A and B are shown apart, each in its own frame.
Chain A
Amino acid sequence: MNYVKTLIRNLIRGPSTVAYPFGPAWTPVHFRGRVEFKLSSCTACRACEQVCAPGAIRFDKTPEGLRFMLWHNTCVFCGLCEYYCPTDAIRQTDDWHMAHATANQYQMAIREVIPYVSCSACGTKALASAPNPVGVIPPFSAEEIEQQRNLCPGCRKTALAERGVTK
């Protein structure tokens, strides 16, 4: 008998499924979807490459610089890259619309190059990556990040020592 109650309740309440793709589909704010990469924040520390379980993230040296590459079809959306990224360079969006034609499968990747520059202090060839913010107190200002970006690792250390870092 108790089932009749459920039946009536369900008739009044209507279906619990959504009408997607003919209607909107609910997506939670914290949904772990397609990965986004912000080149200007990348410190080239390669932590994301090391923790990426399926090997979707890869860094290659090219003549122009260090290339970051992420294959969306290999990504398992675990979010470890975002967790271990010292800056906000890599993060997951709530975008889950990943369906694509097979012909486009090689476009389903992020390929961005951190270029080489010559150090503004000593002129050595160096990567124009963002400085690592870990342990830097007070945090870098926007101008300082741009200054550090144009320095080689050695000159960055010197600049940091002059600035004073409290750990």
Chain B
Amino acid sequence: MSNFTIPVGPLNVALEEPMYFKVDVHGETVSHVDIHAGHVHRGIEYLVTKRNVFQNLVLTERICSLCSNSHPQAYAMAIEQIAGLTVPPRAEYMRVIADEIKRVASHLFNVGVLAHLVGFESLFMQVMEVREMMQDVKESMFGNRMDLGAHVIGGVRFDINDESIEYLRAQLDRIAPAVAEITHIYNTNGSILGRTRGIGVLSHADAVDCSVVGPVARASGINYDVRVKAPYSAYDRLEVPVHVLPDGDVWSRAMIRLQEVATAIDILRQCLADLPGGPTSCTAERPSIPVGEAIGKCEAPRGELIYYVRMTDSPKPERVKWRVPSFMNWDALTFMMKGAKIADIAIIVNSIDPCISCTER
């Protein structure tokens, strides 16, 4: 057997986003992986410093479509800390609702793409159809399929009435059994198990070394979830179970996501049951933001998202820096791919749910 170097990406049918892997292979087995980034760099960190605090709510939302709720949320949390604003209780619950709705859709998308990469197209369609129910929820409640536009500085800018609560409850009742059915398929189907079990293993020790976050960490036995470790919004008043699996393979990561979808549906139901009354924002006008710096962090669907904001006396932030979960997770790919087969590369890359547009911004 001879050694080759093969390129995977940046444009490759199996990759969802542009990322370039230079893979050294020995026969059909991966011996070394080089990751090259920078194909979707748009200079957003610079653009953020050219726009005022309120415009940036929209700009940060458009960094990435799948975590488009988490970015403005972490950003708004940092700004609220600087300005000393207290988000009203109703708005805190509404933020959780927006967050969990996005989590359900994001996780189902990733799990669906896994089925597509395995070659199980009919399962892919089935998962995407279930996700479509959540897309309908987003469109009905927020007015857009991806960019919810849920946050403002000091609260949220959507409100829900009894009618939309009924609608959301009915949709959740439709989605929950469908997710249970999908979970059963991923648990038992031979094609899925054969392509995902024992593939792309990230051991607990390697996971700690790489500081991975989110479902990737939890699938390698690391019990870490920002919603529990450093509760924000209304998470301290809700029951949020953290799912952990010990194996660290592609299947475990998919199962963690499916379990989190079920949990998110449960959290949504808790929110609807406990939803307090009152205002949805602490101020209807544009609050003035004083000089200061702050950090906001939240659990995006892919893991811990941290925002650092520094304000001077200008209405534009002097510096906004964010650390996205995929930045920590893609380094672990070199460990996951060691000894893997060429055919499994795409499945392993998808299993960390890479968000290149967040990471390279």
Which A residue sits closest to B140, measured CB to CB? Answer: A28
| Contact call B143/A30, Cβ cutoff below 8 A | yes
Residues in chain A near residue B59, CB distance under 8 A: 53
- Interface bits B106-144 vs A (CB < 8 Å: 1, else 0): 000000000000000011001001001000100111111
Residues in chain B near residue A3, CB distance under 8 A: 122-123, 185, 189
Q: Tell whether B18 is near chain A: CB-to-CB under 8 Å.
A: no
Q: Tell whether B12 is near chain A: CB-to-CB under 8 Å.
A: no
Tell me whether chain A's interface is mostly helix, strand or loop, or mixed.
loop
- With A and B bound together, what is the CA distance between A6 and B177 in angstroms? 13
Residues in chain B near residue A92, CB distance under 8 A: 143
- With A and B bound together, what is the CA distance between A70 and B324 in angstroms? 34
Q: Tell whether A76 is near chain B: CB-to-CB under 8 Å.
A: yes
Q: How far is the CB of B324 from chain A (nearest CB, A)?
A: 20
- List which B215-272 residues lie within 8 A (CB) of chain A: none
| Contact call B143/A80, Cβ cutoff below 8 A | no
Picked from A7, A47, A52, A77, the residue with its CB within 8 Å of the CB of B55 is: A52
- List which A74-125 residues lie within 8 A (CB) of chain B: 76-80, 83-84, 92
| Contact call B139/A51, Cβ cutoff below 8 A | no
| Contact call A29/B140, Cβ cutoff below 8 A | yes
| Contact call B54/A51, Cβ cutoff below 8 A | yes
| Contact call B54/A32, Cβ cutoff below 8 A | no
| Contact call B62/A51, Cβ cutoff below 8 A | no
Q: Tell whether A140 is near chain B: CB-to-CB under 8 Å.
A: no
Picked from A7, A50, A80, the residue with its CB within 8 Å of the CB of B58 is: A80
Q: Tell whether A2 is near chain B: CB-to-CB under 8 Å.
A: yes
- With A and B bound together, what is the CA distance between A47 and B315 in angstroms? 14
Picked from B51, B129, B140, the residue with its CB within 8 Å of the CB of A53 is: B51
Q: How far is the CB of B164 from chain A (nearest CB, A)?
A: 8
Residues in chain A near residue B188, CB distance under 8 A: 2
Residues in chain A near residue B144, CB distance under 8 A: 31-32, 77
| Contact call B58/A78, Cβ cutoff below 8 A | yes
| Contact call B58/A16, Cβ cutoff below 8 A | no
Q: How far is the CB of A13 from chain B (nearest CB, A)?
A: 10
Q: How far is the CB of B153 from chain A (nearest CB, A)?
A: 10
Residues in chain A near residue B123, CB distance under 8 A: 3
Residues in chain B near residue A8, CB distance under 8 A: none
| Contact call A134/B285, Cβ cutoff below 8 A | yes
Residues in chain B near residue A31, CB distance under 8 A: 139, 143-144
Residues in chain A near residue B62, CB distance under 8 A: 76
- Interface bits A41-83 vs B (CB < 8 Å: 1, else 0): 0000001001111100000000000000000000011111001
Count of A-B contacts with CB under 8 A? 76
Interface residue total, chain A, C-beta cutoff 8 A: 25
- With A and B bound together, what is the CA distance between A40 and B143 in angstroms? 26
| Contact call B185/A2, Cβ cutoff below 8 A | yes
Q: Tell whether B99 is near chain A: CB-to-CB under 8 Å.
A: no
Residues in chain B near residue A16, CB distance under 8 A: 129, 132
Residues in chain A near residue B126, CB distance under 8 A: 6
Residues in chain A near residue B184, CB distance under 8 A: 2
Q: Tell whether B157 is near chain A: CB-to-CB under 8 Å.
A: yes
Residues in chain B near residue A7, CB distance under 8 A: 122
- With A and B bound together, what is the CA distance between A53 and B72 in angstroms? 13
- With A and B bound together, what is the CA distance between A84 and B286 in angstroms? 8
- Decide yes or no: A30 and B142 within 8 Å by CB, A51-B286, A78-B149, A79-B157 being known contacts: yes
| Contact call B149/A79, Cβ cutoff below 8 A | yes
Which B residue sits closest to A32, measured CB to CB? Answer: B143
Which A residue sits closest to B133, measured CB to CB? Answer: A16
Q: How far is the CB of A14 from chain B (nearest CB, A)?
A: 12
Q: How far is the CB of A28 from chain B (nearest CB, A)?
A: 4
Picked from A29, A47, A77, A83, the residue with its CB within 8 Å of the CB of B152 is: A83
Which A residue sits closest to B123, measured CB to CB? Answer: A3
Q: How far is the CB of A150 from chain B (nearest CB, A)?
A: 26
| Contact call A47/B286, Cβ cutoff below 8 A | yes
Q: Tell whether B61 is near chain A: CB-to-CB under 8 Å.
A: yes
- Interface bits A118-149 vs B (CB < 8 Å: 1, else 0): 00000000000000001000000000000000
10 residue pairs A–B, Cβ–Cβ below 8 Å:
A2-B188, A6-B181, A16-B132, A32-B149, A51-B54, A76-B58, A80-B54, A80-B55, A80-B157, A92-B143
Residues of A within 8 A of B (CB): 2-3, 6-7, 16, 28-32, 47, 50-54, 76-80, 83-84, 92, 134
Residues of B within 8 A of A (CB): 51-52, 54-59, 61-62, 122-123, 126, 129, 132, 136, 139-144, 147, 149, 152, 157-158, 181, 184-185, 188-189, 285-286
Known pairs A31-B144, A53-B55. 5 more at Cβ < 8 A? Answer: A2-B181, A2-B185, A30-B140, A30-B142, A32-B143
